[in-house]
């Protein structure tokens, strides 16, 4: 039986992280990707501070900038960051799955170049996966990489690319050969963003400015030494990456915190709410704790034992929890939850931000339907 009781070291780490957040993150912070460039700057400085303390990638080996911490300490970092509106900004992508993919599949030179920079919070990565016509159906991607002397020229289009406007590097998928099967002929490239042949166009969205982008590639250059793994063998890496991505965000932590704070924030109004609404609140809180325990079960398993089925099930549970908790909180607050700008109404602003983010939750990292298909196919093979 897995013992979910928290160790003293993890409890102390949580206290230290909360103190760091209180010291370095200003009041009213709601994330990095707002119309105010200062918010992104805050997250960059905070990530470098975490890097100096070896906390940004705490569970990584010391040789790559981590602290050699255990998975439970890294889980505490994830939970505290997500509950506080992700003050690491865009860094979670590099920490959660770009870095682990390079650690597992990269050359020694790639590891030495990229891992310490990620662990120090000195570089932002974006993900060049989805394309027009190849979003949830990722194997249908058409971006093409052509072999030339010393490297590859890449042409195509990516869409919904988070952080592309601020990233220095892109974890990119492109076709390097004919598809013998839908998932063959795909290669992973580590591509520098600051070069001719790359154009980034922001996509306005309710998630905030500068979050989503289109990326146009016109003979963008990637040298041979920045191919990750085998040419044509990218899908195996991608399958692993998607598992890391789907379980790497402690989304339940924010839902649980906001639900727990609602009675105090509402004060006397709490007792005036319909009993049915408070029952839904209690049920959502139970589901938040169930999601936490499922996450702990996956964290406690060997990384190789986390199946696509488990990752997909977890993703379904936490993203639907996002939406359920957001709807309940919005209903509790009523009209006060929309458009609040007064700093004294921070909880209302948090709830609205949580609601906005939740709208895309069941689309990002594979739609709800794709994750259900993954579960169905896994059960068919069992």
The per-residue pLDDT for 349 is 92
The per-residue pLDDT for 134 is 83
H-helix or E-strand spanning residue 380: helix 368-381
Predicted structure pTM score: 0.90
Evaluate whether 217 touches 285 at the Cβ level (below 8 Å): no
The per-residue pLDDT for 259 is 98
Higher-confidence residue of 328 and 236: namely: 328
Tell me which long-range contacts 241-244 makes (C-beta under 8 A, separation of at least 24). 241/97, 241/101, 241/171, 242/308, 242/311, 242/365, 242/366, 243/306, 243/308, 243/311, 244/96, 244/97, 244/100, 244/101
Higher-confidence residue of 247 and 268: namely: 268
The per-residue pLDDT for 363 is 77
The domains located in the chain, with CATH, are: 8-123 (1.10.540.10), 126-232 (2.40.110.10), 250-381 (1.20.140.10)
Residues 6+ apart with CB under 8 A from 93: 124, 125, 126, 127, 162, 163
Integer-rounded Cα radius of gyration of the chain: 21
Report the 3 state secondary structure along 99-134: HHHHHHHCCHHHHHHHHHHHHCCCCCEEEECCECCE
Q: What is the DSSP letter of 137?
A: S
The region of weakest confidence among 18-27, 79-88, 220-229, 302-311 is 302-311
Higher-confidence residue of 4 and 117: namely: 117
Question: For 13-62, how does the pLDDT look when each residue is reduced to its tens digit (9 = 90+)?
Answer: 999 999 999 999 999 999 988 888 899 999 999 999 999 999 999 999 99
Question: For 60-91, how does the pLDDT look when each residue is reduced to its tens digit (9 = 90+)?
Answer: 999 999 999 998 999 999 999 999 999 999 99
* pLDDT (average), residues 194-199: 97
> Could you tell me which of 97, 228, 214 has the C-alpha nearest to residue 159?
214
User: Of 142-156, 173-187, 340-354, which one has max mean pLDDT?
Assistant: 142-156
Parallel, antiparallel or unpaired: strands 212-223 and 151-158: antiparallel
Residue 269 has pLDDT above 80, yes or no: yes
Q: pLDDT class for 304, splitting at 50, 70, 90?
A: low
Distance, in Å, from the CA atom of 123 to the CA atom of 314, rounded to the nearest integer, reads: 29
* pLDDT (average), residues 264-278: 96
Residue 240 has pLDDT above 90, yes or no: no
Residue with tokens 């070896």: 54
């Amino acid at each position: 039986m897995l013992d979910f009781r928290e160790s003293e070291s993890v409890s102390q780490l949580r206290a230290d992280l909360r103190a760091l957040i209180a010291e370095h993150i200003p009041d009213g912070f709601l994330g990095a990707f707002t119309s105010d460039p200062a918010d992104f700057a805050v997250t960059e400085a905070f990530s470098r501070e975490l890097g100096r303390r070896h906390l940004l990638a705490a569970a990584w080996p010391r040789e790559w900038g981590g602290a050699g911490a255990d998975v439970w300490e890294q889980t505490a970092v994830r939970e505290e960051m997500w509950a506080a509106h992700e003050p690491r900004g865009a860094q979670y992508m590099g920490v959660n799955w770009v870095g682990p993919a390079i650690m597992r599949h990269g050359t020694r030179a790639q590891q030495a170049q990229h891992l310490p920079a990620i662990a120090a919070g000195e570089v932002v990565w974006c993900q060049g996966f989805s394309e027009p016509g190849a979003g949830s159906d990722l194997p249908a991607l058409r971006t093409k990489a052509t072999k030339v002397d010393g490297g590859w020229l890449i042409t195509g289009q990516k869409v919904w690319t988070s952080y592309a406007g601020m990233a220095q590097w892109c974890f990119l998928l492109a076709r390097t050969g004919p598809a013998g099967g839908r998932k063959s002929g795909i290669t992973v490239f580590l591509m520098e963003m600051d070069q001719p042949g790359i154009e980034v166009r922001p996509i306005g969205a309710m998630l905030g400015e500068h979050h989503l982008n289109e990326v146009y590639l016109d003979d963008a250059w990637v040298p041979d030494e920045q191919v990750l793994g085998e040419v044509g063998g990218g899908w195996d890496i991608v399958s692993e990456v998607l598992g890391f991505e789907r379980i790497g965000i402690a989304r339940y932590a924010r839902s649980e915190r906001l639900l727990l704070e609602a009675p105090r924030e509402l004060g006397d109004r709490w007792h005036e709410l319909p009993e049915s609404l408070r029952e839904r609140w209690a049920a959502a809180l139970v589901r938040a704790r169930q999601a936490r325990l499922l996450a702990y079960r996956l964290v406690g398993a060997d990384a190789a034992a986390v199946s696509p089925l488990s990752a997909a099930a977890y993703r379904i549970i936490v993203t639907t929890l996002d939406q359920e908790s957001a709807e309940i909180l919005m209903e509790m607050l009523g009209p006060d939850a929309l458009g609040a700008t007064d700093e004294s109404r921070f909880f209302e602003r948090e709830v609205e931000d949580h609601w906005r983010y939740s709208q895309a939750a069941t689309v990002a990292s594979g739609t709800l339907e794709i994750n259900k298909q993954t579960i169905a196919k896994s059960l068919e093979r069992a």
